[in-house]
Amino acid sequence: MLNIVLFGPPGSGKGTQAENIIRKYNLKHLSTGDLLRAEIAGKTELGMRAKSIMDKGALVPDEIVIGMIEKRINAEKDPKGFIFDGFPRTVAQAESLDKMLSEKKTSITLIISLDVKRQELINRLLKRGKEQGRSDDNLETIENRIKVYENQTTPVMNYYDGQGKARYIDGMGTIEEIFKRIEKVIR
């Protein structure tokens, strides 16, 4: 199996590039942000709990997102591989993911980190906020999400660096240029 983690700060283009990767490599896309927004849209209890946390730009508790991912992994029959987008965001999540995959006799192949300048992140997210109305794409929440990323999420990269699986990509440029860089790393 080919199991890829797409990593990077909010606005770095993980969702966009995940779409390109699944198209080319036929992988299953697992985005915890999308799964949480589906819970919110469905007005479930979990969704209601998550919404207030997400609107502040904080992290939803590990056990919630780990449970969601586990359910999705176990639901797949004979997958070619997974692309994880927005997960893991803490070292505890990364450790759980390793355990889940080893129970399936597989593991993370590669983690790709998209590197984008802070001002560009803010510009992209403000633009998305205007176009798509995502309630966490306002300046105050964006700044908190970036802070949470720097404090709580970047240690995940060190975790995979320790396993020799981390790759860093320049995430500035056009969508096509960045996808070419990603393909090269996967090859």
Q: Give the residues lining the site for ligand ADP (CB under 6 A).
A: 10-11, 32-33, 36, 53-54, 57-60, 65, 86-87, 89, 93, 136, 145
Is residue 72 annotated as a catalytic residue, yes or no? no
Is residue 89 annotated as a catalytic residue, yes or no? yes
Dump the DSSP string for the chain: ---EEEE-STTSSHHHHHHHHHHHH-PEEEEHHHHHHHHHHTT-HHHHHHHHHHHHT-PPPHHHHHHHHHHHHHH-SS-S-EEEES---SHHHHHHHHHHHHHTT----EEEEEE--HHHHHHHHHHHHHHH--TT-SHHHHHHHHHHIIIIITHHHHHHHTTT-EEEEE--S-HHHHHHHHHHHH-
Active-site annotation holder among 28, 104, 134, 181: 134
The minimum distance between CB 50 and ligand ADP, in angstroms, equals: 7
Active-site annotation holder among 14, 37, 51, 124: 14
The minimum distance between CB 34 and ligand ADP, in angstroms, equals: 7
Q: Quick one: 33 or 171, whose CB is closer to ligand ADP? A: 33
Q: Quick one: 57 or 171, whose CB is closer to ligand ADP? A: 57
Catalytic residues: 14, 89, 128, 134, 145
